[in-house]
Amino acid sequence: MNTEKKRVLIGIDGSIQSLNAASYISEILPPERTRVVLFYVDAEILDLYFDIEDKPTMTDLEKASCKEWMDMRTKNMSARLEKTKDIFLAKGFPKDHVTYIRRELAIGVTRDIIEESHKGYDLLVVGKTGTRCVTGIPMGSVTGKLISRVFHLPVVVVEGRPSTEKILVGFDNSKGSIHAANNVISFVRGTHKIMLCHVIRSMDPLNDGEFDLFSSSMNSGFPEFELQRINKQKLKLEKAMTLQKEAMEKAGIPVGHVETCTLEGYMSRAQGLIEKSRKEGYGSLVLGRRGHSTVLEFFIGRVGRKVVEMSDSLAVWIMN
């Protein structure tokens, strides 16, 4: 099993979701070979002042009226950073393995996090939403920007309070999915149950899961072709997943901890993976940044973006 130490950057904004993201990481990563940096970007000027000016400044009167509120926010944030650090210490992380950086806003929250992420980290972790979550928006603005701009290291987007017992890996035998499966085991503890899962999409626009020959014959008009296509794809991917399973066991995952499955009949691979996660209690879903469509202009594969937006009490790992 890989014993290389990993350095993890966790974006902290004081929200409950960022606290939950830290709690998730403290449970799924091994304390002895993980170093965690909690990163908080503090703004001297509140972002609401940017609503009316490009480069706003606060008047002396405004500074005086805001000083008490700013002092209280600073005190509260210091307490939350210490509380977050205590989460890791309670899970067995050595004191020198958990630190935090409190940085004044330099360029912008997203770009400041990206700049810090280039300083020797192996993983970036953020909450799906932050302190200013707007009803109806699938993810926070900072998180949306980060998953589209961070290419140099894996990104974990945490929603809710995911379980850490079981890991679902979306697998299509592309280079991205193979790398994702191999890479995730270098981070986690090694005692988790891992499921390699391939979703075989249906040609039937009325299907929403589990291939049905009768339904297919009524709508696609090519039931024999559909059945042959599915069987052929299933045989090919089952063979590939067996090889991947053997490779992961050789890398140190205990025998019996890696299983494989195929899902049939879904029009959307993202929907299939999300439903599998919800029904069977997978708290972590691992995806390659891109599948077989490796066009560089696409910052993240179609499946990955949809999965992050649809996630509920789930940690989505986007492996590059």
- pLDDT tens, the chain, 320 aa long: 556 899 999 999 888 999 999 999 999 999 999 999 999 998 665 555 555 566 666 666 566 667 776 777 788 889 999 999 999 999 999 999 999 999 888 888 899 999 999 999 999 999 998 765 554 456 778 888 898 899 899 999 999 999 999 999 999 999 999 999 999 999 998 788 999 999 988 766 555 555 444 454 455 555 677 788 888 999 999 999 999 999 999 999 999 999 999 998 788 888 899 999 999 999 999 999 865 544 433 334 567 778 888 888 999 999 98
Report whether 107 contacts 45 (CB < 8 A). no
- The answer to whether residue 61 sits within a structural domain is yes
- Closest by Cα among 282, 280, 275, 279 to 307: 275
Report whether 262 contacts 197 (CB < 8 A). yes
- The answer to whether residue 219 sits within a structural domain is yes
Q: How far apart are CA 157 and CA 229, in angstroms?
A: 34
The answer on 148 and 172 residing in a single domain is no
Report whether 39 contacts 11 (CB < 8 A). yes
The answer on 141 and 177 residing in a single domain is no
The answer on 155 and 18 residing in a single domain is yes
- Closest by Cα among 282, 105, 146, 256 to 311: 282
> Could you give the residue ranges of the DSSP H alpha helices within 45-90?
60-90
- The answer to whether residue 1 sits within a structural domain is no
Segment 183-239, tens digit of pLDDT: 999 999 878 899 999 998 876 655 555 544 445 445 555 567 778 888 899 999 999
Distances in whole angstroms, Cα of residue 204 to Cα of each of 14, 208, 275: 46, 9, 19
Max CA pair span of the chain: 77
The answer on 172 and 304 residing in a single domain is yes
The answer on 260 and 149 residing in a single domain is no
Segment 15-35, tens digit of pLDDT: 899 999 999 999 999 999 999
The answer on 198 and 104 residing in a single domain is no
The answer on 229 and 100 residing in a single domain is no
The secondary structure of 108-136 as a DSSP string is: -HHHHHHHHHTTT-SEEEEESS-TTPPTT
The answer on 185 and 138 residing in a single domain is no
CATH number at residue 271: 3.40.50.620
Q: How far apart are CA 170 and CA 269, in angstroms?
A: 9
Q: How far apart are CA 229 and CA 240, in angstroms?
A: 17
- What's residue 291's pLDDT? 55
The answer on 81 and 186 residing in a single domain is no
Number of domains within the chain: 2
The answer on 198 and 62 residing in a single domain is no
Q: How far apart are CA 298 and CA 74, in angstroms?
A: 39
Domain that holds residue 152: 6-159
The answer on 181 and 230 residing in a single domain is yes
Query: Which residue, 131, 159, 187, sits at the end of a domain?
Result: 159
Question: Which residues lie below 8 Å from residue 193, measured CB to CB, with a gap of 6+?
Answer: 165, 166, 167, 257, 259
